[in-house]
């Protein structure tokens, strides 16, 4: 089928098999390889993207379901060379080590802060429960999200 | 993992979805949030030939005040249940339980109707619907019928939904008594090993048999004047929990007694 998805503000129109998963559409049809596949079973969150502004696991969404909708991947988060506040906070607070979980972690954090701009530490931990990180032990990720929320509040 | 090939159709109305189901019979499946069905299809445990996507049917996504009840469209997502002010005020058990499902990403996709129609005894909302005496509205080619939650869950992943029927609405009486929801998981986003929902004197169990269950022995004990702690001793009576390497049947029976006691005590605190 032909699907049209607005990915990072650009219309992506491609002919795909009906069974194509959104993560494969993004990586293979759009060439946007920032979205990683980790577990492929809806558990790890590495494939998290924003679907109409809300976090979803793109390994468990069909490209067909996203037809006519807007998707944001890590590539679309920052305008020009300017990092998104959440990306900047991850950089400043060392919220990543190998970086594999990071695109999903950042997008889950953006969605979390949109719903709850001033979360407590507990709320950040709960809000990121769908994203696994093998490296950081999470502390610096939580610090990064709290830093981003404080910086946004101060603006 | 990629599902076996199928044809995707997006229904523009409930009538169109009903027609597609009628035309394609057993080869067709409804797709709501896809967060139970797509994982099964990726494992090829489900191989439908036609997916009828109903997720976009706004006519089935609502939470309305209806005097003594709240009417909820089957396609209302877990995220919207958890964040509804009306539900938090009038049916707090449902709003709370929806907020404990999976993780935010799962709650952004999964729906109340999908959760009930899937009929998984390990899922949270079926037991909650039982405890709340919800009524499910099913629409089929021959019209609409109402099924009490107590008659909806028939067996292992089997519900009262007939082929060709769609669950359109869930009616939940407003809560007037204390409530609590207890869920024991191994890790943050896991399904409940065992769960317990209490609404007033109604007690329901997650994952203690082939279907979600009302803990009738606990309810009878309460009616006969037992204390919450005494009544909770009956939480595993007449249940048949799964015996698995990660959780034996005995362990589940123990958990049921502990969780029901906690839920009863909290609901009365
Ligand atoms: C990682 C992960 C963690 C999860 N954790 C939990 C948890 O902790 N607790 C919990 O309860 N659930 C959990 N779930 C399941 C989640 O809640 C699902 O969203 C839900 O069970 C199914 O809803 P859905 O809208 O996604 O349905 P789908 O997957 O789209 O459909 C499920 C089934 O119901 C049928 N169906 C859907 N809608 C209707 C309808 N309106 N009428 C008739 N039939 C219909 C479909 O044909 C299909 O057979 C989890 C899922 C994942 C992936
Ligand atoms: S790859 Fe999608 S959740 Fe792990
Ligand atoms: S930084 Fe390596 S997995 Fe998170």
Return the residue whose CA atom lies nearest to atom 14 of ligand 1. Answer: B102
DSSP summary character for residue A37: -
pLDDT number for residue B240:
97
Separation in Å, CA of B96 to nearest CA in chain A: 14
In the block, residue with structure tokens 């696994």 = A132
> Which regions of chain A are under pLDDT 50?
none
Give the mean pLDDT of B223-246.
Answer: 97
B53 touches chain A (CB under 8 A): yes
CB neighbour list of residue A62: distance below 8 Å, 6 or more residues apart: A18, A19, A20, A21, A22, B8, B34, B38
Verify whether ligand 1 is closer than 6 Å to residue B110 (CB atom): yes
Which of 60-89 (B) contact A at CB < 8 A?
79
pLDDT number for residue A154:
77
Which residue of A17, A41, A55 is in closest CB contact with B105?
A55
Is A57–B104 a contact, with Cβ atoms under 8 angstroms apart? no
Tell me: pLDDT of B193 over 80. yes
Measured between CA atoms, the residue of chain B closest to residue A42 is B39
Residues A112, A96, A76, CA angle at the centre, nearest 5°?
55
- pLDDT tens column, B254-266: 999 999 999 999 9
pLDDT band at B232 (very low <50, low <70, confident <90, very high): very high
Ligand 2 binding pocket mutation candidate from A26, A27, A36, A43 (most atoms within 8 A of CB): A43
Tell me: pLDDT of B133 over 90. yes
pLDDT number for residue B129:
98
Which residue of B3, B10, B189 is in closest CB contact with A19?
B3
- pLDDT tens column, B18-55: 999 999 999 999 999 999 999 999 999 999 999 999 99
Return the residue whose CA atom lies nearest to atom 3 of ligand 2. Answer: A42
* Chain B CB contacts of A17 below 8 Å: 5
pLDDT number for residue A152:
80
SS3 assignment, position B101: coil
Whose CA is closest to B194, among B222, B216, B217, B213? Answer: B213
pLDDT band at B1 (very low <50, low <70, confident <90, very high): confident
Tell me: pLDDT of B167 over 80. yes
pLDDT band at B189 (very low <50, low <70, confident <90, very high): confident
**What are residue B29's phi and psi, to 5 degrees?**
-140, 145
* Chain A CB contacts of B39 below 8 Å: 41-42, 60
pLDDT number for residue B137:
98
pTM for the structure as a whole: 0.97
- pLDDT tens column, A8-37: 999 999 999 999 999 999 999 999 999 999
Q: How far is CA A17 from CA A11, A51, A57, A126, A139, in A?
A: 18, 20, 19, 36, 41
CA distance B256 to B239: 10
Is A108–B79 a contact, with Cβ atoms under 8 angstroms apart? no
SS3 assignment, position B37: helix
The answer to whether the beta carbons of residues A139 and A128 sit under 8 Å apart is: no
Interface of chain A toward chain B, CB-CB under 8 angstroms: 1, 17-19, 21, 24, 40-43, 45, 48, 51, 54-57, 60-62, 64-65, 67, 108, 111-112, 115, 127, 129-131
Q: Which residues line ligand 2 (CB under 6 A)?
A: A 37-40, 42-47, 57, 59
Q: Which residues line ligand 3 (CB under 6 A)?
A: A 96-102, 133-136
Pairing of strands A48-51, A70-72: antiparallel
CA distance B218 to A21: 46
pLDDT number for residue B161:
97
Is B6–A18 a contact, with Cβ atoms under 8 angstroms apart? yes
Pairing of strands B135-140, B143-148: antiparallel
């Amino acid at each position: 089928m032909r699907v049209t998805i607005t990915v990072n503000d650009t219309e992506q129109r491609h002919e795909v098999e009906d069974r194509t998963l959104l993560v494969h559409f993004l990586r293979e049809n759009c060439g946007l390889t920032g979205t990683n596949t980790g577990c492929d079973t809806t558990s790890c969150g590495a494939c998290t993207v924003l679907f109409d502004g809300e976090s979803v696991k793109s390994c468990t969404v069909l490209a067909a379901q996203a037809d006519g909708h807007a998707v944001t991947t890590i590539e679309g988060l920052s305008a020009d060379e300017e990092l998104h506040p959440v990306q900047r906070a991850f950089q400043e607070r060392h919220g990543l080590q190998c970086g594999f979980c990071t695109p999903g972690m950042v997008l889950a954090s953006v969605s979390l802060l949109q719903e709850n701009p001033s979360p407590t530490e507990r709320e950040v931990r709960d809000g990121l429960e769908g994203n696994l990180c093998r490296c950081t032990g999470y502390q610096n990720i939580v610090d990064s999200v709290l830093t981003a929320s404080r910086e946004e509040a101060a603006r | 993992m990629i599902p076996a090939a199928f044809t995707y159709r997006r229904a523009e109305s409930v009538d169109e979805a009903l027609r597609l189901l009628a035309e394609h019979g057993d080869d067709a499946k409804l797709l709501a949030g896809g967060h139970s069905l797509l994982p099964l299809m990726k494992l090829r445990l489900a191989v439908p030939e036609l997916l009828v996507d109903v997720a976009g049917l706004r006519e089935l996504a609502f939470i309305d005040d209806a005097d003594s009840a709240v009417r909820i469209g089957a396609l209302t997502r877990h995220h919207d249940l958890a964040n509804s002010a009306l539900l938090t005020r009038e049916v707090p058990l449902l709003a709370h339980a929806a907020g404990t499902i999976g993780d935010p990403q799962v709650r952004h996709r999964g729906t109340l109707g999908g959760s009930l129609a899937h009929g998984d005894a390990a899922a949270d909302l079926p037991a909650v619907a039982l405890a709340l005496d919800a009524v499910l509205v099913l629409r089929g080619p021959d019209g609409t019928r109402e099924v009490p939650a107590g008659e909806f869950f028939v067996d292992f992943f089997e519900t009262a939904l007939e082929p060709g029927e769609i669950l359109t609405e869930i009616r939940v009486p407003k809560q007037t008594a204390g409530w609590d929801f207890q869920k024991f998981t191994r890790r943050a986003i896991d399904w409940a090993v065992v769960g317990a929902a209490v609404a007033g004197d109604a007690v329901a169990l997650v994952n203690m048999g082939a279907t979600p269950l009302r803990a009738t022995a606990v309810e009878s004990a309460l009616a006969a004047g037992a204390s919450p702690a005494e009544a909770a001793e009956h939480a595993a009576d007449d249940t048949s929990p799964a015996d698995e390497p990660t959780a034996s049947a005995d362990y589940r029976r123990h958990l049921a007694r502990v969780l029901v006691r906690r839920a009863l005590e909290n609901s009365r605190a």
